[in-house]
Amino acid sequence: MRKLIAGNWKMNGSLAANAELLQALRAALPAAPAADVAVCVPFPYLGQVQAACTGSAIAWGAQDVSVHVAGAYTGEVSAAMLRDFACRYVIVGHSERRQYHGESDDIVAQKARRALAAGITPIVCVGETQAQRDQGDTEFVVKRQLAAVIHAVGHCVSEIVVAYEPVWAIGTGRTATPEQAQAVHAVLRAQLRAAVPSERRVRILYGGSMTADNAAALLAQPDIDGGLVGGASLKADAFLRIVAAA
Cα–Cα distance between 131 and 169 in angstroms, integer? 12
Asked if 224 and 206 touch (Cβ cutoff 8 Å), the reply is yes
Q: Is 111 annotated as a binding residue?
A: no
List the one residue out of 192, 176, 191 whose CA is nearest residue 227: 176
Q: Is 165 a catalytic residue?
A: yes
Q: Is 214 annotated as a binding residue?
A: no
Q: Is 227 annotated as a binding residue?
A: no
Q: Which of 76, 94, 101, 199 is catalytic?
A: 94
The burial of 102, by beta-carbon neighbours within 10 Å (0-12 exposed, 13-18 middle, 19 or more buried), is given as exposed
Residue 1 three-state SS:
coil
Q: Is 10 annotated as a binding residue?
A: yes
Asked if 166 and 176 touch (Cβ cutoff 8 Å), the reply is yes
Instruction: Please count the other Cβ atoms lying within 10 Å of the Cβ belonging to residue 216.
Output: 14
Q: Is 179 a catalytic residue?
A: no
Q: Which of 96, 103, 128, 165 is catalytic?
A: 165
Q: Is 230 annotated as a binding residue?
A: yes
Would you name the residues annotated as active-site residues? 94, 165
Annotated binding site for substrate: 8-10, 171, 209, 230-231
Give the residue ranges of the annotated binding site.
8-10, 171, 209, 230-231
